[in-house]
Structure 1
């Protein structure tokens, strides 16, 4: 594991370019095994999750190479094999191999996925979708075995009981090669779903309705890549840098963004009194000094993203008065609170109401803290930049799982930050 060491007090300035969307990439890589040709992705973020997914591909005899944002995947010699448990358990998005393997082989056997511990995230809606398409699902220890039987995958009517990005994408991956017509109702609407569907449709899939709550899929027999797929910019990375720049910047331009994907987040920054300069594919954050307190409530897209409630927290420490956060998606996503409090932050969590109360804090002081998961680590990283003295973040690999070339980007913004291998 790595430690991140931050020497605070260096205000940020300059330009930063956002990488490809993590939440697209971790679905697109499993989706690539559905192709009957080699596949190429551009704008792939250099994050640990990508490298772990490449390990899983290798176990299936799927070759891949990754350099300078370009990822090549060749699934033409794919074989059915046991997937490496360690890599599966390192990231939750490995569950997308369930839908992809069903589409490719009509059978999937996979360990229960791992990833961030941010409270209950059941996969019952995924299973419900697979069973609607005629699959039999059996749990064997910590393995899930999904089979399709003699008829193979069948098109079906699927209604998701809750809006789930993961279940929506997994159902699409299975249905794209199913026989007949599939309709997914109460589907999630995230931009990353549109990105995955764009990739599949460009290979010959027949999918309509991505970005709405009803997605219709006509199964096809073959998918063939003819063009490089360019991954959309990461709206969560962009939001993290927006928060960072507003909290401790002297003027920062954030490039390669799609502002429309950040409307709910941008609205909250404006509500705080931050004067953003929004262009077609960039946002400039001027030095800001006076902030109003706000109320944040996370919701499914296009609402305020749960992945951004922790990154906005250090900014809220600078607001005049108390701000509140209610996470309706993952109410237990609170690992950052006690760590920020070690730095002097005035934050508390009211369990009865599920509300995080963030009070104005004059000063943060460097401390030794731990990144419990990706977005908690991002929150702590921003606080470390704002703090007096040195902050050491243990378990920094969690940050590396979700933030592209983070050390280089922060250094280019004049932060003093480094990664040190923790041999203990």
Structure 2
């Protein structure tokens, strides 16, 4: 069989056209937004204790629909998922100096939401197959100062929630589920994001469904729901008239989502199941087409959960391929296939390496509220660090609207590189 020369070495490029950009917005969302604009009611929130403290009709309708869809008592919309994380950390009653265990393999806001309340992020390592928090590493990082765990359901698959909730119960900890990337994923027949004390989803533009920017918090806890609503909407002004006695972290913000966004969200939510099934079908086709390539590990989906493939994550084992991940990545890029060879190792960001968040004196770490010298040196999360340095390759599934021909091109490009591994050595 003739082996085609790699584009990196002057051969023909496999992918010669851009893939179609993913766009989940249709005529339903256009009509919904138009209706709101014509009504003149673009927002109906009031930052005082009033019937409009909870927002306008579309906000409330979208929240009811989300609560019904995800099977929870309460859904609370916010203007971004970063705002949702900030609200969640405040709502669970975190004190300055408390430690919160978090994954390093996530978007930076998962950890900075902890710093927002002058608490201390402590990074636990990840599972090498799912990229989610490793429960054993979480347990090993618990100290007398630990008060909570933030779990990220990364790339589209739930973390090991039963194990993590058991650990949390044993140590009296609260759990926040950052399910930004995994709306619609199932864990033992329940939706990811609903198994923690509080969880939620991103509505940012490159997610399965979106409202441009936005987020949805979910919880079954009545008190937590109230505190989330208060932090969302100027809590300090509202608590007295509302009769709230627990003033801990009752510093509120304008984290409110508008009527247009919620009208769009109502229509988007109706499509979530279909979009998830489409990503899963694409992943199945990729799995079939890429099976058996030595040193390439395809996504691992645990048998008690589903994956919704915000990202199609792979790893490269250079000991099997004989070629570094960087060389393989360069060859794939030359073939016209855009893959990521990096994600995040948040603990290695300058903020943590220099322990500099607020002001110039290293607050909160270099202050009386910090109980100990928390270690952020490279080496504390060896699995996550190896993924970043040597192994990870990811394809952003929610960036594109792929058809069968597109998927075949992806498979062809990757298989072509693997057929030419010998030419990449040295």
The bucket for the TM-score relative to the shorter chain is under 0.3
Q: So what's the TM-score if we normalise by structure 2?
A: 0.22
Q: Which has the larger strand fraction? A: 1
Higher Rg: 2
Q: Which has the larger helix fraction? A: 2
